[in-house]
Structure 1
Amino acid sequence: MGRSGRVTLSDVAKASGVSRATVSFVLNDDPRQTISVATRERVLEAAQDLGYVVHGIARALREGSSRVVVLNVDWGMEGNFSRSYVRGLDEELAEHDHLLLVRHGHAIPEATQKVLDTITPRAVLRLGEVYMQGHEPIEEDWESGFAANAALQIGHLAERGHTRIAMTLPDYDFPLTETRLAFAQEAARRLGLPLLERFVVPRPREAGAAAVEAFLTAHKDVTALAAFDDDIALRSLVALRDLGHRVPEDVAVIGFDEAEYGSLATPALTTIHIDAEILGRIAARNALGIDSGGLAPVAGRVVVRASV
C-alpha cells in the first residue's frame, strides 16, 4: 500500500469502515462482545491486507501476562536431549501463538525475578526441574522416562555380559548427577547386578588418564564404564587409549544422550539416544493449561557402535 511505519488499530478501523473499538473486539476475540460475521470478516481481511501485528505489550497488559514462556537450561545440560526438548517446546508454543525464551546458565532467583518483572511471562520452566526436586520415579518413568533411559544404558552392558560396572561422572557441579546415579543404581539392582562403582573423569587429558588409571588399579574386576554423558564417555575412551587399554576388549564404554561427534571417535562410541521433542510439547501444553492427551514420551534407544 506504499505506507511506512507500524500499522495501527486506527488504520485497520479506517480500512474496514468500523470503529477502533470494534477492531479491538474482533482482533482480541472478546467473548463479551457480539460482532456480526460480516463485520468480523471485514475487519480480519483489512488487518491481513495491511499486515497488522498485535502489539505484544498491550496484549500483555490486557491478559495479565505476555505470550512468552521462559525456559531455564542449566550449564551442562546442553545436549541432544535439551535440543530436542527445546524444539518441541518452541514448536508447540508457536502453534498456540506463544513465544519461547531460553536462558542458559544457573537460574539465579534474582535474575529470574528480573525476567518476571520485565516481560511478565506466561510461565517459567526449568529443564529437568521435577527431578531436581527429588521426584521419585513412578513405574511409567521406568517405561519411557528419564529412569528408563538410565536403565537402558546399564541394561545394554548387562546384556553383553558385564556385571561389574562403574559410572564415570563429570568434574563440575551438575544438578542431575545424583538423580542419574540413583536411577542407574536402581536399574542395576533390578537386573541383579552389584552396586555400581563411581568416579570422576576430570579435565585436562592427563588428569583424566590419571583418574582412570587409579580407579582401574583399585577395581580390577570392573569391565565396563557407563558414562554420565557422551562428553565424559569420550574423555574415558581417550584415557583408556592413552593407558594402553583396548576398548571394548579390556574395558567397554557406553555414552548417554548421543552427541554426533561420538561416531567420529576410535572406536566409535556406543550411546543412548533420547528424543525429548514430545516432552517439550507436553510441557508447552501444561504451561498453557491445554490437555496433553494423546502425547506420550518416546522411549530412548541404544545406538550400537564399536565401544561395547
Structure 2
Amino acid sequence: MVTIKQVSEKAGVSSATVSRVINNPDTVKEKTRELVMAAMAELGYRHNVVAASLASNKTHTIGYVVPELHGSFFGAMMGGTEQALRQAKKHMLIATGHSDAEIEKEQIDALLSRRCDALILHVEAVSDDYLVNLVKQGVQLVVVNRFIEAIGEHCISLDNIKGGYLATRHLLEIGHTKIAYVAGSLFKDDGKNRLLGHQQALAEWGIGYDENLTFEGNFQARSGTEGIRTLVEQGASFTAVACANDEMASGAMIALRELGRRVPEDVSVIGFDNVDFASYLSPGLTTIDYPVQKIGRMAAHWVLEQVYGHVRHDFEHILAPRLILRGTTSSPH
C-alpha cells in the first residue's frame, strides 16, 4: 500500500503538505497541489478514509434529517447544504423523519451511531426540550426551519409569521377583503406561524378572522385542491386565497379552474416558499420568498465552522421573507 510518506518523497514536499492537499486543498498553493496530485496518480495512492477518521476522531460525515424526500422544497434545501459540504470534502447521510417524533428520534440515534460529526435537523415532531437536551449532551447540531430560544445559536429559520403577514397584506393592499386561507399542517411550527401572520394582517386592516374561510391542508398540492373544493361546497365567498406553500397554491389553482374561476380575474392566489416551479406556472405564482438554498448553505457553514474550524461565516439565525410579485394576484373586479 502506498503511503503518504512515499507520496511526499515523490512530490518533493513534506508529509504535512500532502495531508493538507488531501484534507484542506484550499490552504495549499495550486502548483504544489498539482505536484502532489501527480505523485498520487503515478504511485496509485488511495486515501484510507477509515484510518484517517480513527486517527483524527472525525468521520467527515454529517447526518441530515428531513421530513420527506419528495417535493422541490427539501431538494433545494439539501442541495444548498450538499454543495457547500462537498466543496469542503465532507459527506452527507440523509434520513427521513416523516414528521413523527419516534421516527425522528430513531433516525437521529441511527446517524449518531454511525459516528456523524454533526447533525442538521429539519425535524417537526420532537419537542424543543428533546433538542435542547441533545445540545446539553454535547451533540453538535444545527436546527433548520425552526427557532428554539434556549438554543438559538444552533437554529437557522425564516420569520414565518412575517411571511404569512406579508402574503395577506399584499392581498389587502390591492383591495381584497374576503380572503380564504389554505393552511399547512397546524401541528407544525411553520404552518401555525404562517396562519398567525395571516391573522395579524387581517387584524391590522380591522377585518375579523373567519374560521369558515380557513382550510387546514398538509403542505401537499392535493390538499390545496381539496381545500378550495371544500370551501366552495360549504358556501364560502372569497375573492382571494392565501396558501401556506406553493404546492398547495398550485393545487388551489387547479381546483379554481375546474370550478370555472379564472386566476387572477375572478380569484387571486398567493403562495409561500418561491420554489422553482412557481415561476413556471401559468400565470406565474405570486408568492413569499423562502431562501431555502441559502438556509441549506448556512447550515453547512455552521457545521464547517463549529465542528471543523473552517473560516468564520456571517449567520442570520432568523431570515426575513420578501414578497415576489407575479401574475396570480390582481385587484378584485
Task: Flag the 1:275–1:257 CA change in 2: closer, same or farther, 3 A.
Answer: same
Helix, strand or coil at the partner of 1:108? helix
Q: Counterparts of 1:169 and 1:69 in 2: how far apart (Å)?
A: 33
| 1:50 aligned residue | 40
Correspondences of 1:104-143 after superposition (within 5 Å) = 104-106=96-98, 108-118=104-114, 120-127=115-122, 129=143, 132=146
Once superposed, what is the RMSD of the aligned Cα atoms?
4.0
Q: Counterparts of 2:289 and 2:274 in 1: how far apart (Å)?
A: 5
Structure number with greater CO (CA < 8 Å, separation at least 6) is 1
- TM-fit CA distance, 1:27: 4.0
Q: Counterparts of 2:161 and 2:33 in 1: how far apart (Å)?
A: 52
How many aligned residue pairs are there?
A: 278
1:59 has 2:49 as partner: no
Which of 64, 69, 73 is matched with 2:62 structurally?
Answer: 69
1:168 has 2:160 as partner: no
Report the AA paired with residue 208 of structure 2: P
Helix, strand or coil at the partner of 1:286? helix
Q: CA offsets per residue over residues 245-304 of structure 1, 9 Å max, x none?
A: 343343321122234444555554322333333322322222232532277957534131
TM-score normalized by structure 2?
0.66
| 2:266 aligned residue | 250
Which of 294, 303, 306 is matched with 2:325 structurally?
Answer: 303
Q: 5+ residue gaps in structure 2?
A: 21-30, 124-142, 153-157
Percent identity between matched residues is: 25
| 1:185 aligned residue | 199
Q: CA offsets per residue over residues 229-251 of structure 1, 9 Å max, x none?
A: 12211222222222233433433
Question: Does 46-55 or 109-118 show the bigger shift?
Answer: 46-55
- Higher-Rg structure is 1
Q: Counterparts of 1:111 and 1:213 in 2: how far apart (Å)?
A: 41
1:235 has 2:257 as partner: no
Asked if 2 retains the 8 angstrom alpha-carbon contact of 1:155 and 1:187, the reply is yes
- TM-fit CA distance, 1:8: 3.7
Q: CA offsets per residue over residues 23-63 of structure 1, 9 Å max, x none?
A: 3x54446xxxxxxxxxxx98994455214454322222223
Which of 210, 216, 234 is matched with 1:200 structurally?
Answer: 216
Task: Flag the 1:194–1:281 CA change in 2: closer, same or farther, 3 A.
Answer: same
Q: Counterparts of 1:70 and 1:78 in 2: how far apart (Å)?
A: 20
Q: Counterparts of 2:55 and 2:321 in 1: how far apart (Å)?
A: 41
Task: Flag the 1:131–1:43 CA change in 2: closer, same or farther, 3 A.
Answer: closer
TM-score normalized by structure 1?
0.70
Report the AA paired with residue 112 of structure 1: I
- TM-fit CA distance, 1:305: 0.9
- TM-fit CA distance, 1:165: 2.2
- TM-fit CA distance, 1:105: 4.6
1:292 has 2:308 as partner: no
Q: CA offsets per residue over residues 204-252 of structure 1, 9 Å max, x none?
A: 898555413234x1x33x3221012122112222222222334334332
Report the AA paired with residue 163 of structure 2: N
Correspondences of 1:260-271 after superposition (within 5 Å) = 260-263=276-279, 265-271=281-287
Q: Counterparts of 1:241 and 1:44 in 2: how far apart (Å)?
A: 60
1:86 has 2:82 as partner: no
